[in-house]
Amino acid sequence: MSHHAGRAFAVQWSQASRWSPGSFREVAWSWPPETIQPLSTVLRRRIECVGRAEHPLDSLVFGSLHFGGELSRRDMSSKQEVKGKLFFAHADDVVYSKIDARNGAIGIVPHEMPLVVFSSEYPIYEVDRERALPEYVKLLFRMASFRQRINSLISGASGRKRVEPSTLEGIEVPLPPLATQQAIVDHWQAAQRKNAAALRTADEQEAETESAFLRDLGLKSSVSILTHRGFALHWSDVERWGVDGLRKTIGGIDPNKSKFAAESLSTVLEFAQYGTSDKANEAQKGVPVLRISNIKDGRISWENLKHIELPGRTEASLKLVDGDILIIRTSGSRDLVGTCGVYRGDRPSVFASYLIRLRIDQSKAVPEFISYFINSPAGRQQVDAVSRQIMQNNINSEEIKGLRIPLPPLAIQQHLVAEVSAARETIAAVRAAAAQRAADTAREVEEMILGHRPASKS
């Protein structure tokens, strides 16, 4: 097939089925012409209407189709009524969103969801297994070139552009012999298994690093958090009235039982400061401003930075200094509240109002040690016990100052930080290698489907 690569090209008026330059661009397949067929060759429209009388809503599994092509069960607990017709989709059926197909909302129903329900906005197809493997079709949908092709054919008003069934069915794709399709699928699946094993190892290493850090402090979690309905504790142990918090108080990790004396965080703090609420911009005007999204996995992330323009004196008062800890004070996610990271280096930056800056007296504590402990289960337990929800989940500076931290001598803190940092570097390398392998595999599979690379098993 031809491929229009230049910025200007010509076509016959008789070839124009829609007014869109992108619709004339074709994918450069490297397959014999007979291998390239429309999707209608292997997809059969399934229209299996759900009878409301035989199938009450609470007996149905509603599907949710995500931009990555994955399907999950939709939470319908807040839905009082569902209007319009509903349709069944079976395992290995193709389902796509008319509106969001261009964003990747097209996939295969997984086997763990053998019968799923969708509205009429989600056309459903059965795959002809004599001509195509559902797993191969799923990989087709993941291709960047397939997504580009869909985007070139969308119709409708801006923001609500739909991919109609006739449009999807008419898209031409390579349909090589089943053995070739299987080889492509095997190559993909082998890489996924390898990546899954690597990420499991990284998760196990991270859990062991966390456990070793607490063990070195003489702390360990109890076998289980109490789950029985009745329990008792001393009034002096009650910091906040709440059943969940009280269960954690007597069933979790007690920092006061460390082999090192535990102190309130306030004893090593020079000050705590809230950030700026001025509006940030994406035009790189002013100084970089760190936000909630820049605190990731206990570290400062410099991705997706925004900037902010502040008066000179205000900017100077908010500029971060090497060793400052940034902690999330409020968020829609309770899991994020209280998580923190240490600012290192001399990159000029300020911080937003959803964060609090903790300036540590480094003659008493190593900032990374404090950050590691707050992010550990022992720290998270304390944050959860004192945080509260008022519209969003919150913790304030006074509550942060009251967190109990075991404080070994500085030399021991530095040793523990070095051990955790080394382990984290190893874990990060494993995850980076997995991410690179995933990217390489996606590229290789795309090249196989395009016919630019021989299909082979890993």
Q: Mean pLDDT for each 10-residue chunk of the chain (458 residues)?
A: 49 51 62 94 96 88 91 76 88 93 90 94 96 94 88 61 90 95 96 96 95 95 46 54 49 88 97 96 96 94 95 96 97 93 94 97 98 96 86 90 97 98 96 96 95 81
Type and span of the H or E element at 115: strand 115-119
Residue 104: other Cβ atoms inside 10 A: 20
The greatest distance separating any two alpha carbons of the chain, rounded to the nearest whole angstrom, comes to: 86
Nearby residues of 458 by Cβ (< 8 Å), 6 or more positions away: 186, 187, 190, 191, 194
* Residue 180: CA count within 13 A, CB half-sphere: 14
**pLDDT at 83 (0 to 100):** 80
Among 290, 267, 292, 273, CA closest to 358: 273
Q: Identify residue 410 by its one-letter amino acid code.
A: L
Rounded Cα–Cα distance for residues 397 and 271 (Å): 10
Rounded Cα–Cα distance for residues 86 and 419 (Å): 56
Query: 306 forms bridges with which residues in the sheet?
Result: 289
**pLDDT at 38 (0 to 100):** 95
**pTM of this structure:** 0.77
Rounded Cα–Cα distance for residues 372 and 190 (Å): 36
Residue with tokens 């109990």: 404
**pLDDT at 102 (0 to 100):** 83
Q: Do 339 and 295 form a contact (C-beta atoms < 8 A)?
A: yes
In the chain, the domains with their CATH numbers are: 13-175 (3.90.220.20), 254-407 (3.90.220.20)
Phi-psi region of 354 (alpha: psi -120 to 50; beta: other; left: phi over 0): alpha
